[in-house]
Amino acid sequence: MITVLQPDVTVPLDRFSDWIAEEGQDYRVIPLEHQPVPALDDCGAGIIVLGGRKDAVTVSESPFLEDVYRLLRAAVDREVPVLGICLGHQILGHASGGTVALGHPAQGEEGAYDVTLTAAGAADPLFTGLDETFLAAESHHDVVEVLPEDATLLATSKACPNQAFRIGSAVSVQFHPEVSPATMGKWTAGDGGDGAAMAAHMTRVDEKVRAGGRIIARNFVSIVSGTN
Protein backbone atom coordinates (compact mmCIF):
# COMPACT_ATOMS: atom_id res chain seq x y z
CA MET A 1 0.00 0.00 0.00
CA ILE A 2 1.06 3.58 -0.70
CA THR A 3 -0.03 6.34 1.68
CA VAL A 4 -0.82 9.65 -0.07
CA LEU A 5 -0.62 12.77 2.07
CA GLN A 6 -2.89 15.50 0.69
CA PRO A 7 -2.19 18.94 2.20
CA ASP A 8 -4.93 20.65 0.17
CA VAL A 9 -8.25 19.18 -1.02
CA THR A 10 -8.03 21.22 -4.23
CA VAL A 11 -4.83 19.38 -5.21
CA PRO A 12 -5.84 15.75 -5.76
CA LEU A 13 -3.93 12.61 -6.71
CA ASP A 14 -5.62 13.16 -10.08
CA ARG A 15 -4.30 10.88 -12.86
CA PHE A 16 -2.00 9.02 -10.49
CA SER A 17 -5.15 7.42 -9.04
CA ASP A 18 -5.74 5.39 -12.19
CA TRP A 19 -2.06 4.88 -13.00
CA ILE A 20 -1.19 3.48 -9.57
CA ALA A 21 -4.23 1.20 -9.66
CA GLU A 22 -3.31 0.01 -13.16
CA GLU A 23 0.04 -1.14 -11.75
CA GLY A 24 -1.79 -3.28 -9.20
CA GLN A 25 -0.84 -1.16 -6.19
CA ASP A 26 -3.26 -0.22 -3.40
CA TYR A 27 -3.22 3.28 -1.97
CA ARG A 28 -5.06 5.48 0.50
CA VAL A 29 -5.36 9.27 0.58
CA ILE A 30 -5.02 11.15 3.89
CA PRO A 31 -6.46 14.72 3.69
CA LEU A 32 -4.18 16.49 6.16
CA GLU A 33 -6.64 19.32 6.75
CA HIS A 34 -9.00 16.78 8.34
CA GLN A 35 -6.97 13.75 9.45
CA PRO A 36 -3.76 13.36 11.47
CA VAL A 37 -0.44 12.48 9.89
CA PRO A 38 -0.05 8.69 10.24
CA ALA A 39 2.87 7.00 11.94
CA LEU A 40 5.49 5.58 9.60
CA ASP A 41 4.55 2.01 10.56
CA ASP A 42 1.03 2.73 9.27
CA CYS A 43 2.14 4.15 5.90
CA GLY A 44 2.66 0.89 4.06
CA ALA A 45 5.43 0.48 1.51
CA GLY A 46 5.68 4.07 0.25
CA ILE A 47 4.58 7.67 0.73
CA ILE A 48 3.49 10.38 -1.72
CA VAL A 49 3.19 14.00 -0.57
CA LEU A 50 1.03 16.10 -2.89
CA GLY A 51 0.96 19.82 -3.62
CA GLY A 52 -1.11 22.62 -2.13
CA ARG A 53 -1.81 26.34 -2.04
CA LYS A 54 -0.12 27.05 1.29
CA ASP A 55 3.62 27.00 1.81
CA ALA A 56 6.07 24.45 3.18
CA VAL A 57 7.36 26.41 6.15
CA THR A 58 4.54 28.35 7.86
CA VAL A 59 3.47 25.93 10.57
CA SER A 60 0.92 28.38 12.00
CA GLU A 61 -1.08 28.10 8.77
CA SER A 62 -0.54 24.35 8.31
CA PRO A 63 -0.22 22.76 11.77
CA PHE A 64 0.36 19.31 10.26
CA LEU A 65 3.73 20.37 8.81
CA GLU A 66 5.84 19.47 11.86
CA ASP A 67 4.44 15.93 11.85
CA VAL A 68 5.06 15.62 8.10
CA TYR A 69 8.68 16.76 8.55
CA ARG A 70 9.21 14.10 11.22
CA LEU A 71 7.53 11.44 9.11
CA LEU A 72 9.67 12.16 6.05
CA ARG A 73 12.90 12.18 8.05
CA ALA A 74 11.90 8.85 9.61
CA ALA A 75 11.05 7.43 6.18
CA VAL A 76 14.51 8.31 4.85
CA ASP A 77 16.12 6.83 7.97
CA ARG A 78 14.20 3.58 7.41
CA GLU A 79 14.68 3.66 3.60
CA VAL A 80 10.95 3.87 2.85
CA PRO A 81 10.32 5.23 -0.67
CA VAL A 82 8.92 8.75 -0.78
CA LEU A 83 7.74 10.89 -3.69
CA GLY A 84 7.18 14.59 -3.03
CA ILE A 85 5.30 16.66 -5.61
CA CYS A 86 5.43 20.49 -5.79
CA LEU A 87 4.57 21.52 -2.21
CA GLY A 88 5.66 18.00 -1.24
CA HIS A 89 9.00 18.72 -2.91
CA GLN A 90 9.38 21.89 -0.87
CA ILE A 91 8.33 20.16 2.36
CA LEU A 92 10.96 17.47 1.83
CA GLY A 93 13.56 20.13 1.03
CA HIS A 94 12.79 22.09 4.21
CA ALA A 95 12.55 18.98 6.40
CA SER A 96 15.95 17.81 5.16
CA GLY A 97 17.79 21.08 5.82
CA GLY A 98 17.40 22.88 2.51
CA THR A 99 16.14 26.42 1.95
CA VAL A 100 12.66 27.15 0.57
CA ALA A 101 12.07 30.58 -1.00
CA LEU A 102 8.47 31.79 -0.93
CA GLY A 103 7.18 33.68 -3.96
CA HIS A 104 10.47 33.63 -5.82
CA PRO A 105 10.46 36.57 -8.28
CA ALA A 106 12.12 34.67 -11.14
CA GLN A 107 11.61 30.94 -10.65
CA GLY A 108 7.82 30.63 -10.73
CA GLU A 109 6.26 28.58 -13.55
CA GLU A 110 2.65 28.15 -14.72
CA GLY A 111 1.93 25.82 -17.64
CA ALA A 112 4.02 23.28 -19.56
CA TYR A 113 7.81 23.59 -19.40
CA ASP A 114 10.81 21.57 -20.50
CA VAL A 115 12.56 19.76 -17.64
CA THR A 116 16.06 18.34 -18.19
CA LEU A 117 17.56 15.44 -16.27
CA THR A 118 21.05 15.68 -14.86
CA ALA A 119 23.39 12.71 -15.31
CA ALA A 120 22.28 11.49 -11.88
CA GLY A 121 18.65 11.97 -12.85
CA ALA A 122 19.04 9.97 -16.05
CA ALA A 123 20.38 7.10 -13.94
CA ASP A 124 17.73 7.39 -11.21
CA PRO A 125 15.10 4.62 -11.12
CA LEU A 126 12.24 7.13 -10.78
CA PHE A 127 13.06 8.54 -14.22
CA THR A 128 13.88 5.35 -16.11
CA GLY A 129 12.39 5.58 -19.61
CA LEU A 130 12.13 9.38 -19.73
CA ASP A 131 13.88 11.42 -22.39
CA GLU A 132 16.74 13.57 -21.13
CA THR A 133 14.48 16.59 -21.69
CA PHE A 134 10.75 16.09 -21.24
CA LEU A 135 7.67 18.28 -21.00
CA ALA A 136 6.05 18.66 -17.59
CA ALA A 137 3.19 20.57 -15.98
CA GLU A 138 4.22 23.31 -13.57
CA SER A 139 2.22 25.40 -11.12
CA HIS A 140 4.36 27.08 -8.46
CA HIS A 141 6.02 30.26 -7.23
CA ASP A 142 7.73 28.85 -4.13
CA VAL A 143 10.93 26.88 -4.78
CA VAL A 144 13.64 24.87 -3.08
CA GLU A 145 16.31 27.51 -3.55
CA VAL A 146 19.13 25.64 -1.79
CA LEU A 147 19.14 21.84 -1.76
CA PRO A 148 19.72 19.88 1.45
CA GLU A 149 23.40 19.17 2.05
CA ASP A 150 23.08 15.44 1.33
CA ALA A 151 20.76 15.80 -1.68
CA THR A 152 21.57 14.91 -5.29
CA LEU A 153 20.15 17.16 -8.00
CA LEU A 154 18.19 15.11 -10.54
CA ALA A 155 16.51 17.64 -12.86
CA THR A 156 16.47 21.32 -13.79
CA SER A 157 14.50 23.78 -15.91
CA LYS A 158 15.45 27.10 -17.47
CA ALA A 159 13.65 29.15 -14.83
CA CYS A 160 13.86 26.85 -11.81
CA PRO A 161 17.21 25.09 -11.28
CA ASN A 162 16.10 22.64 -8.59
CA GLN A 163 13.35 20.68 -10.33
CA ALA A 164 14.04 17.34 -8.67
CA PHE A 165 16.37 15.89 -6.07
CA ARG A 166 17.00 12.66 -4.20
CA ILE A 167 17.94 12.28 -0.56
CA GLY A 168 18.26 8.61 0.36
CA SER A 169 15.00 6.81 -0.36
CA ALA A 170 13.10 10.05 -1.03
CA VAL A 171 12.76 11.83 -4.37
CA SER A 172 10.85 15.05 -4.92
CA VAL A 173 9.84 16.95 -8.04
CA GLN A 174 8.83 20.59 -8.40
CA PHE A 175 6.63 19.77 -11.41
CA HIS A 176 3.27 17.94 -11.39
CA PRO A 177 3.49 14.51 -13.06
CA GLU A 178 0.00 13.67 -11.81
CA VAL A 179 -2.01 16.64 -13.04
CA SER A 180 -4.60 16.72 -15.85
CA PRO A 181 -5.40 19.70 -18.09
CA ALA A 182 -8.78 20.09 -16.39
CA THR A 183 -7.19 20.36 -12.95
CA MET A 184 -4.62 22.86 -14.20
CA GLY A 185 -7.53 24.94 -15.50
CA LYS A 186 -9.29 24.82 -12.12
CA TRP A 187 -6.14 25.96 -10.31
CA THR A 188 -5.68 28.88 -12.68
CA ALA A 189 -9.31 29.93 -12.36
CA GLY A 190 -9.06 29.64 -8.57
CA ASP A 191 -6.15 32.09 -8.66
CA GLY A 192 -8.20 34.56 -10.70
CA GLY A 193 -6.69 33.66 -14.08
CA ASP A 194 -8.12 32.34 -17.33
CA GLY A 195 -8.79 28.72 -16.47
CA ALA A 196 -10.21 27.87 -19.89
CA ALA A 197 -7.07 29.17 -21.61
CA MET A 198 -4.81 27.17 -19.27
CA ALA A 199 -6.84 23.98 -19.79
CA ALA A 200 -6.70 24.49 -23.56
CA HIS A 201 -2.93 25.10 -23.44
CA MET A 202 -2.34 21.95 -21.40
CA THR A 203 -4.66 19.90 -23.62
CA ARG A 204 -2.62 20.82 -26.69
CA VAL A 205 0.55 19.40 -25.13
CA ASP A 206 -1.07 16.67 -23.08
CA GLU A 207 0.19 13.72 -25.09
CA LYS A 208 3.76 14.53 -24.07
CA VAL A 209 2.94 15.64 -20.51
CA ARG A 210 0.81 12.58 -19.87
CA ALA A 211 3.45 10.19 -21.20
CA GLY A 212 6.08 11.50 -18.79
CA GLY A 213 3.73 11.42 -15.83
CA ARG A 214 2.65 7.87 -16.61
CA ILE A 215 6.28 6.72 -16.66
CA ILE A 216 7.00 8.33 -13.28
CA ALA A 217 3.90 6.74 -11.72
CA ARG A 218 4.88 3.33 -13.04
CA ASN A 219 8.45 3.72 -11.85
CA PHE A 220 7.42 4.78 -8.35
CA VAL A 221 5.16 1.76 -8.01
CA SER A 222 8.04 -0.44 -9.16
CA ILE A 223 10.32 1.14 -6.55
CA VAL A 224 7.70 0.62 -3.83
CA SER A 225 7.15 -3.00 -4.84
CA GLY A 226 10.87 -3.69 -5.05
CA THR A 227 10.92 -4.54 -8.75
CA ASN A 228 12.93 -1.46 -9.81
Which residue out of 43, 86, 94, 138 is catalytically annotated? 86
Q: Hey, what amino acid is at 31? A: P
HEC per residue, the chain: CEEEEECCCCCCCCCHHHHHHHCCCCEEEEECCCCCCCCHHHCECEEEECCCCCCCCCCCCCCCHHHHHHHHHHHHHCCCCEEEECHHHHHHHHHCCCEEECCCCCCCEEEEEEEEECHHHHCCHHHCCCCCEEEEEEEECCEEEECCCCCEEEEECCCCCCCEEEECCEEEECCCCCCCHHHHHHHHHHCCCCHHHHHHHHHHCHHHHHHHHHHHHHHHHHHHHCCC
Asked about 86 being catalytic, the answer comes back as yes
- Which of 89, 94, 140, 176 is catalytic? The answer is 176
Instruction: Return the C-alpha torsion angle 33, 97, 151, 37, nearest 10.
Output: -20
From the list 89, 140, 178, 201, the catalytic residue is 178
So which residues are the catalytic ones? 86, 176, 178
